[in-house]
Amino acid sequence: MPNSILLRKALIEIIRRHGSAVYYCPEQFKTALLAHEIGHPVLLDLLGESVRLEVPPELLRLSNKSQPFFVAQRLRDYFQRRISGLSVSQAEWIVATWAMALGLSPYEEAPYPTQG
Q: In percent, how much of the chain has pLDDT > 70?
A: 95
| 62-97 pLDDT, tens digit each | 877 667 677 888 889 999 899 888 889 999 999 999
In whole angstroms, what is the distance from residue 30 CA to residue 1 CA? 22
Q: What is the mean pLDDT of residues 8-36?
A: 84
105 in Cβ contact with 99 (< 8 Å): yes
pTM, 2 dp: 0.85
Closest by CA to 15, choosing from 89, 86, 104, is: 104
Residue 16 has pLDDT above 60, yes or no: yes
d(Cα 103, Cα 15) in Å, to the nearest integer? 10
pLDDT tens column, 42-61: 888 888 888 888 889 888 88
**Residue 47 is inside which H or E element, if any?**
helix 41-52
Contact 41, 51 (CB under 8 A): no
